Amino acid sequence: MSVIDEIKARIDIVDLVSETVQLRRTGKNYSGFCPFHPNQRTPAFAVFSDSGTWRCFGQCNEGGDIFKFMMKKEGWEFPEAMRYLAERAGVQLHVPTEQEKVEAEEHENLRNLLEGAVTFYRHQLFNTPAGKLALDYLQQKRNLTIETLETFGIGYAPGSWDAALNFFNAKGYSTADLVAVGLVTEREPGKNPVGVIQKADVYDRFRHRVMFPIRDEKGRIAGFGARILNPEDIPKFLNSPQTPLFDKSRLLYGLDLARRAIRTLDQAVIVEGYLDVIALHQAGFSNVVSPMGTALTEQQLFLLKRYSKRIVLALDPDAAGNQATLRGLQIARQAMDHEQDPIFDARGLLGYEARLQADIRVTTLPLGLDPDEVVGRDPKEWERIIAEARPVVIHVMEALSADRNLDDPKVKNQIAAQVLPLINDVPSAIERDTYLQRLARLLRVSERALQEIATSSRRPRPSGHRPVRKPAEQLLAPAQIPAAISSYSLEAYCLGILLRRPDLLYQVDRRMQNGRLPRLSPEDFLHADHQAILRVFQESVEQDMAEPLNFVLNSLSLAMMELADNMLDRTAKLDPQDERVIEDLMRGLLTLRRRRIDQELEYRRFLIVEAQEAGDLKATQDAQTVVKLAKVRRFIDEALKEYTSRSTTGVRQQ
């Protein structure tokens, strides 16, 4: 039994889900209200105890096993969910190496030091005469309450070159530890900061500044951001340096406090700075985070996507208005140590949107106002600003055309020249067509003229720009595969074939599309471990740095390697070059889709009965969904016909 199997055997999915969802028995299964989207009318969330899986038949349209439930609930990746569930089940993933033990102890020691620094700076803010200036600034100029300051752990760094150094040295922390977490700075050879005697090798990095603890999405302290109080000081903002704990490209300020609100509202809002986040949270808008003035990275957007695919970028009008340079996305300041106007990069945003399959929108603040000023004068104005966020391409169109003479042919040409490349980068053909129509109306030119320009200038899209496809409207299966084969075993068998030949993904996708079905997706698998492995397969065929099989094996963790070994055992007798192998693979994948379709049809019918008894109009919507699902099932049945008469090579053995 693999580690993953053992974890599943020890944790009952009904018990796990019941901690979050109030379930009631419906036949042999359980139902309740989905915890991942607002809905108190129809219990569209189902738990299937026999297969150890769950599914939302409502807005989410997602499902999986206990791992996927924890990933969805906490916004974790698979390894994080596995570690948590392994600990809960009392299963040891692997014996830590001596190096891992040392690193874990070192990181814990450094985090304890940083937590001590949070307490040190908070004491300086609330209990020292020097801190009163900072406290007055925060309360009177920024209108922040004591409760808010406590929630965010805001403090004050005294205007001393060695206050923190001496305090923590006295606590038993070494100077090397203080350097390692970025609380003190080493003097460069031959240089000495003003006011520091020559013998000083290190000095406090943060002096006479408001201190903002920066935590990761789990609430673990990683470093600090600091803002000046004296207008003459530079730079205005200063972050901790790169450390083993602090990587600003992978952190978002406020995410630890915002993640639940982001998931509940199904929307994340990105603003520019710490104080913007804090003021909005205080005003009740808790789904707000900040990239801390640095370039917005794909890693940060990927973090947000764990909680919501709907992301709004709230920009200063100078950054995203008529002055937009349109050089690629980033809210970009090249570094916190430099004052520089943000650059709005629309093309970069579109690239992120395509790769992450997210809905990224842009909105701008009123001229001259910060978010705290907007919510201070009228919270409903902030709601309206966010509600009016527009897709990136539309934002660019309107920004470029504002206050321009659209009767001038040269102006029209200039705008078209900047917008059309963005439209070409949009992966969806329907969206491209819609944007072309809108641009034609805006410029009062024919769509044909724009289409000719767009077609002539269109270049091959980067591999990351894949059409956004919805998870297959899932699932069907042939009679040849015995019903006794569990979905888990069948998924593992299919992945075992792909593990031997990752290149078969191309053939699978082509055959699926020929059968009017969506391409293979991680959502085709119910189990989170199998979804994670399929994603690695897909990455392996999209890269060109290594052979696909080597890439897969080098990308898997030890626990996943154990799973992969089991998959290879399942397919040991197969000849991966045999044409019948792809037929077996298609049969297996279509079987999985068929089972999912049948399961959803069964539950949709249950929802229809529930809604009809309650007099809910949603019964009509569910009935329409049933019709669509039946149509998908016909497509799958048709696709299966070409395989049903052929002999199988290994599926029967499962």
- Map out the domains of the chain as residue ranges: 3-89, 104-246, 261-464, 487-653
Amino acid code (one letter) for 375: V
Dihedral-angle region of residue 224 (phi above 0 means left; psi in -120 to 50 means alpha; beta otherwise): beta
**Closest residue by Cα to residue 214 from 322, 290, 110, 295:** 290
pLDDT at 616: 65
pLDDT at 594: 87
Least confidently predicted of 38-42, 217-221, 308-312: 38-42
Q: What is the DSSP pairing of strand 24-26 with strand 29-32? A: antiparallel
Q: Which residue has the tokens 């289409």?
A: 451
Residue 597, token pair as written in the block: 């379709």
pLDDT at 338: 33
Contacts of residue 620, defined as CB under 8 A and 6 or more positions apart, other chains included, come to: none
Task: Spell out the CATH class of 104-246.
Answer: alpha beta
Task: Give 453 or 95, the one with higher predicted confidence.
Answer: 453
**Closest residue by Cα to residue 324 from 305, 338, 345:** 345
Contacts of residue 217, defined as CB under 8 A and 6 or more positions apart, other chains included, come to: 75, 252, 255, 256, 259, 303, 306
**How far is Cα 85 from Cα 8, in angstroms, rounded to an integer?**
9
**How far is Cα 595 from Cα 280, in angstroms, rounded to an integer?**
46
Residue 232, token pair as written in the block: 């003459």
Q: Name beta bridge partners: 269.
A: 288, 312
> What integer is the mean pLDDT of 279-292?
94
Contacts of residue 607, defined as CB under 8 A and 6 or more positions apart, other chains included, come to: 42, 43, 44, 57, 618, 619, 622
At residue 589 the predicted structure's pLDDT band, cuts being 50, 70 and 90, is very high
pLDDT at 200: 59
Pair 638, 610: CB distance under 8 Å: no
**How far is Cα 141 from Cα 151, in angstroms, rounded to an integer?**
19
Indicate the average pLDDT of the chain.
81
pLDDT tens for each residue of 147-175: 999 999 999 999 999 999 999 999 999 99
**How far is Cα 475 from Cα 487, in angstroms, rounded to an integer?**
12
Residue 89, token pair as written in the block: 């089940």
pLDDT at 465: 41
CATH topology of domain 487-653: DNAb Helicase; Chain A (1.10.860)
pLDDT(466) > 70: no
Complete edge-to-edge strand list for the sheet that includes strand 268-270: 288-289, 268-270, 310-315, 359-364, 390-391
Q: For the chain, give the percent of residues with pLDDT over 70.
A: 83
pLDDT(486) > 80: no
**CA end-to-end distance (rounded Å), the chain:** 16
CATH topology of domain 261-464: Dna Topoisomerase Vi A Subunit; Chain: A, domain 2 (3.40.1360)
Least confidently predicted of 37-46, 58-67, 231-240, 337-346: 337-346
pLDDT at 576: 65
Amino acid code (one letter) for 282: Q
Peptide bond into 235 cis (omega under 30): yes
Residue 573: C-alpha distances to residues 192, 482, 502, 569 (Å): 71, 20, 17, 8
Pair 208, 229: CB distance under 8 Å: yes
Pair 629, 600: CB distance under 8 Å: yes
pLDDT at 582: 85
Task: Give 205 or 453, the one with higher predicted confidence.
Answer: 205
At residue 472 the predicted structure's pLDDT band, cuts being 50, 70 and 90, is very low
Task: Spell out the CATH class of 3-89.
Answer: alpha beta
pLDDT tens for each residue of 381-419: 999 999 999 998 998 898 888 888 988 989 898 888 888
Burial 233-272 (b: 16+ CB within 10 A, else e): eeebbbbbeebebbebeebbbbbbbbbebbbbbbbbbbbb
pLDDT at 535: 86
Q: What is the DSSP pairing of strand 310-315 with strand 268-270? A: parallel
**Closest residue by Cα to residue 17 from 38, 2, 36:** 36
Pair 270, 290: CB distance under 8 Å: yes
pLDDT at 482: 53
At residue 619 the predicted structure's pLDDT band, cuts being 50, 70 and 90, is low
Contacts of residue 32, defined as CB under 8 A and 6 or more positions apart, other chains included, come to: 17, 21, 22, 23, 24, 43, 45, 47
Least confidently predicted of 126-140, 235-249, 506-520, 607-621: 607-621
pLDDT at 421: 85
The torsion angles phi and psi of 360, rounded to 5 degrees, stand at -100, 125
Half-sphere exposure of 639 (CA within 13 A, CB side): 29
